[in-house]
Each structure stands twice: as C-alpha cells, then as structure tokens.
C-alpha cells in the first residue's frame, strides 16, 4: 500500500469511530408521541399511573423508550416496542409478570413480592422486595439466585 492509501484509510476509520461513538442521543418526547403499542401496554397494566416523562434514546442502530410513571415506576421498551425492563419500589402488577415466574415466587417466597422485572438476551430477572434477585430462562423456569 502506498502512503496516500494508508492515510485515506486512517481518515475514514477515524471518522467512522467518531460517528459511531457520538451517535448516542437522548431526547425527551411528549407522551402523545409514544407508539400506540406502548400506550396500550401502560393503560392496560398501569391504569392508575400518570406518565411523567418519556425519553427516546438512540444509540447507533438501537432505539429505546424510557418512561417514568408516577409512584416511581420506570419502564423501558426496545425498538420493537416490547417491554424489557420494569423497575418499581412497590409490588408490580401481577399482569406484567409471566405466570410461571409469579407462581414460583408465590410458592417459594410467600411473604415477598416482585418490585423489578428485566428481560435480558437469554434470561429474565426479577427482584424481590427483600433485595433478592432471581433468574429465569426464557421458558420461565427458575435458574438461580443472582447475588
């Protein structure tokens, strides 16, 4: 390779790195700008909560909606408008927890309740009011306690 080619490749690579590292953007949007799938989910599972803030976050090719509801509940939806994270300080509605996971928690931790639920790539995690984190696979089968 000649020197000009090396310099051109280096410049293009530098520009690409700069573009991809500076692509993360957060933008506060109106709740009226939320996709209907998300507003439907909220009205179904959190009918008594008010939307306080909506943040549309773009990072490269990914897009998420971070929503803060009244009573300190936060929701996160992925680009497919699917719920991937629910954080609260009180008991989450049973309707947002997969039935098999809910049964496991009720059977094995009858005096506790679920305050957080998160969907990861290959597993789900719930946090109980006592701070215990439980992991489940995508079939809602218990895997382990995660400390």
Where is pLDDT greater, at 116 or 17? 116
d(CA 25, CA 66): 13
How large a percentage of the chain has pLDDT more than 90?
A: 78
Q: In what order do the strands lie in the sheet with 133-137?
A: 25-29, 51-59, 62-69, 73-77, 83-87, 114-119, 123-128, 133-137, 142-146
Domain boundaries, the chain: 24-146
pLDDT at 8 over 70: no
pLDDT at 115 over 80: yes
Strands 114-119 and 123-128: antiparallel
Give the pLDDT confidence of 15-64 residue by residue, as tens digits.
555 555 545 699 999 999 999 999 999 999 999 999 999 999 998 888 99
Question: Residue 59's pLDDT is what?
Answer: 87
* 147: confidence class by pLDDT, cuts 50, 70, 90: confident
What single-letter DSSP state applies at residue 80?
T
What is the average per-residue pLDDT within 96-120? 98
Tell me the pLDDT of the chain averaged across its residues: 90
Residues 6+ apart with CB under 8 A from 29: 54, 55, 56
pTM above the 0.85 mark? no
- Fold topology of 24-146: Inhibitor of vertebrate lysozyme, Ivy (3.40.1420)
């Amino acid at each position: 390779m000649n020197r000009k080619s090396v310099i051109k490749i280096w410049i293009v690579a530098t520009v690409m790195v700069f573009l991809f590292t500076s692509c993360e953007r957060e933008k506060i949007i109106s709740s009226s700008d939320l996709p209907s799938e998300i507003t439907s989910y909220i009205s179904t599972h959190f009918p008594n909560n008010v939307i306080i803030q909506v943040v549309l976050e773009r990072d490269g090719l990914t897009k998420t909606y971070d929503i803060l509801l009244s009573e300190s509940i936060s929701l996160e939806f992925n680009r497919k408008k699917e719920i991937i994270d629910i954080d609260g300080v009180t008991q989450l509605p049973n309707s947002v927890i997969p039935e098999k996971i809910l049964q496991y928690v009720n059977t094995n931790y009858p005096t506790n309740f679920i305050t957080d639920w998160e969907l990861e790539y290959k597993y789900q995690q719930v946090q109980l009011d006592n701070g215990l984190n439980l992991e489940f696979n995508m079939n809602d089968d218990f895997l382990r306690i995660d400390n």
